[in-house]
């Protein structure tokens, strides 16, 4: 009983760590661009950029205000004719490869790219041993 009361009090007292501002969402945060080709490009990019506040979500999925401002920035720049890769590079220059779900090939990330090839190679080697043995038995 006392535990419940304490819990209720804790919930009532706790203020959200990430308070929101009183300002409305940025103009292009939740509004599609009029040009469907540009909007598709912007959407693709948004799904591959990581939200800085919620961290587990892409900026396309996040309700955080900073994610909304990032979506607006992506749409603004796509509309101005910037390429998705240029926008991604701009963000990576500021936040590191952490910000993109499409990591560039770097010394730190090369195992990500090499591991599948190595694993398939190891699998083929194992399978080869099996087939050989079976062949001999037959």
The stretch among 12-20, 34-42, 78-86, 102-110 that binds other proteins (CB under 8 A) is 12-20
Contact call for residue 42 and other proteins (CB under 8 A): no
- CB of residue 61 to other proteins, shortest distance in Å: 17
| Near other proteins by CB under 8 A: residue from 70, 75, 78, 88 | 70
Please tell me the distance from the alpha carbon of residue 138 to that of residue 133, in angstroms, as a whole number.
9
Please tell me the distance from the alpha carbon of residue 60 to that of residue 82, in angstroms, as a whole number.
19
User: Would you list the DSSP string of the chain?
Assistant: -HHHHHHHHHHHHPPPSSPPPSSPPPTTTSS--SSHHHHHHHHHHHHTBB-TTTSSSBTTT---HHHHHHHHHHHHHHHTT--HHHHHHHHHHHH-GGGBSS----TTTHHHHHHHHHHHHHHHHHHHHHHHHHHHH-
Comparing CB distances to other proteins, the nearer of 19 and 80 is 19
How big is the chain by its Cα radius of gyration, in Å? Answer: 24
Comparing CB distances to other proteins, the nearer of 5 and 72 is 72
The stretch among 37-45, 69-77, 100-108, 109-117 that binds other proteins (CB under 8 A) is 69-77
- CB of residue 22 to other proteins, shortest distance in Å: 6
What is the footprint of other proteins within residues 78-137 (CB under 8 A)? 91, 93-96, 98-99, 126
User: Which residues form the interface with other proteins (CB under 8 A)?
Assistant: 15, 19-23, 26-27, 52-53, 55-56, 65-66, 69-70, 72-73, 91, 93-96, 98-99, 126
């Amino acid at each position: 009983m006392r535990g419940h009361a304490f819990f209720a009090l804790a919930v009532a007292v706790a203020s959200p760590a990430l308070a929101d501002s009183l300002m409305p969402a940025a103009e292009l945060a939740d509004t599609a661009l009029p040009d469907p080709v540009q909007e598709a490009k912007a959407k693709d990019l948004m799904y591959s950029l990581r939200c800085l506040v919620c961290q587990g979500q892409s900026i396309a999925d996040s309700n955080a205000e900073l994610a909304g401002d990032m979506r607006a920035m992506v749409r603004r720049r796509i509309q101005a004719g910037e390429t998705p890769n240029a926008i991604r590079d701009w963000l990576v220059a500021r936040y590191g490869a952490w910000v993109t779900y499409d990591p560039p090939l770097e010394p730190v990330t090369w195992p990500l790219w090499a591991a599948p090839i190595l694993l398939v190679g190891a699998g083929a080697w194992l399978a080869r041993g099996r087939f050989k043995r079976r062949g001999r038995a037959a």
